[in-house]
Structure 1
Amino acid sequence: MSGSPAPALASAPVSVVAEHSAAASVAVPVSAAPAAVLPGQAAPAGWAWPVGPPRELARPFEAPASRYAAGHRGIDLVAGEGHPVRSPADGVVTFVGRVVDRPVLSIQHGEGLVSSFEPVSATVSEGDRVLAGQVVGVVATGSHCTARCVHFGVRRHGQDISPMLFLGGLARAILLPLPPTGPVPIPAR
């Protein structure tokens, strides 16, 4: 992938979570979310949503403060057991197996990008080439979600990053000028 991805979402309805907790989450339509959204545009650089519509985000990416700190290193998408999971981009399957107590599937996409899904019963094998949108498995049991979901994570050169960078829905960063240096003027009374 070259350059910065433009904020975009697939044209299907999408929801994001405005608030989440172990007990409940409140879904908000993407149009009400603060992120820049350009409906009708495809995900940048050939990336696609791994689950079909309707798409609902159960838990967002939460960057850890350090490599070993707590955080949520991906996004949780609402999807029931047996729901098909698709490759988000062209790539090669690099891992199919269990991690701790969950079935996991990982795909290498080139340029140091690896996507991972759990819990997913793979319908592909390690070494298989896959295309964007190709079914690679189905949602299994053993999820860390309280409700049925699939966890979708992305790493670039080993660093966890938000999958939303590739699916759209994140506003672009805007650099603001630095405040002037020196003493701050005090208004006259």
Structure 2
Amino acid sequence: MSTFRSLAASLAIVLLGPLTPLPGAEPKAPVTPTARPGDRPTWNGSRPRFVPPVDAPIADPFRAPSGPFGPGNRGIEYATAPGTPVRAIGDGVVAFAGQVAGRGVVSIDHPSGLRSTYTGLGDIFVRSGQSVAQGGPVGRTVTRLHLGLLDGRRYLDPAAFFGGSPAVLVE
């Protein structure tokens, strides 16, 4: 196998020429990931008081899955109309803002160690690394909004952190 690799490398050099950096290009140090989603600090046990991200009824409440791939709702889905303003549920720093599988998503890391995620955004008003205040604008919905709350890789019911705000279900 090593003979084959040597032959392939030699053939590549003959066909493509020696691999040299472009003029002015500095060699870069290898990139070592500093953190993966499950490696970030987890919930410190304090019970933060969050606020609902929208003024809309709940279309589908949190339903804990029976296992890692089991059915359930790993958050709250709100019955929002297109263009509904979405607010941060608590103070934090934007960890991600962009598209995932064609859907607008924002993730916010909160000082408690929890992470909130907002999926279903048509317009995104924040960028990664930006500090946001509780109630501050995050974006606008394109259809329904899904709010998730994570402790590392474990999903929590966001409504349990709304400080007594009643959860209103769509019948």
TM range (shorter): 0.5 to 0.7
Find the aligned partners of 1:129 and 1:4 in 2 and give their Cα distance: 20
Aligned to 1:62: 63
Counterpart in 2 of 1:183?
A: none
1:99 counterpart letter in structure 2: V
Please, what is the CA RMSD of the aligned residues? 2.0
CA displacement 1:20-52 (0-9 Å, x = unmatched): xxxxxxxxxxxxxxxxxxxxxxxxx34111013
Question: Offset of 1:117 from its aligned partner?
Answer: 0.8
Q: Distance between the aligned counterparts of 1:138 and 1:118, measured in 2?
A: 10
Counterpart for residue 157 of structure 2? 162
1:116 corresponds to 2:124: no
Which SS does the other structure have where 1:119 is aligned?
strand
- CA positional deviation for 1:68: 2.1
Q: Which residue of 2 aligns with 1:50?
A: 53
Q: What code does the residue aligned with 1:74 have? A: G
Look at both structures and tell me which one has the larger radius of gyration over its CA atoms: 2
TM-score calculated relative to the size of structure 2: 0.65
Q: Is the 8 A contact 2:79 2:145 kept in 1?
A: yes
Aligned to 1:102: 103
Query: CA contact under 8 A between 2:46 and 2:112: conserved in structure 1?
Result: no
Secondary structure of 2:65 counterpart:
coil
Report the structure, 1 or 2, having the larger helix content. 2
Q: Which residue of 2 aligns with 1:90?
A: 91
- 2:40 is aligned to none
How much has 1:4 moved relative to structure 2?
A: 7.4
Return the alpha-carbon distance in structure 2 between the equivalents of residues 80 and 158 of structure 1: 30
The structure-2 alpha-carbon separation of the partners of 1:4 and 1:96, relative to structure 1 and needing over 3 Å to count, comes to closer
What's 2:74 paired with? 73
Unaligned 5+ segments in structure 2 are: 1-42
Distance in 1 (CA, whole Å) between partners of 2:99 and 2:44 is: 32
TM-superposed CA distance for 1:161, in Å, is 0.8
**Which of 132, 137, 140 is the aligned partner of 2:139?**
137
Secondary structure (helix, strand or coil) at the match of 1:136 reads strand
Distance 1:127 1:157 in 2: 19
Whether contact under 8 Å (2:45, 2:112) holds in the other structure is no
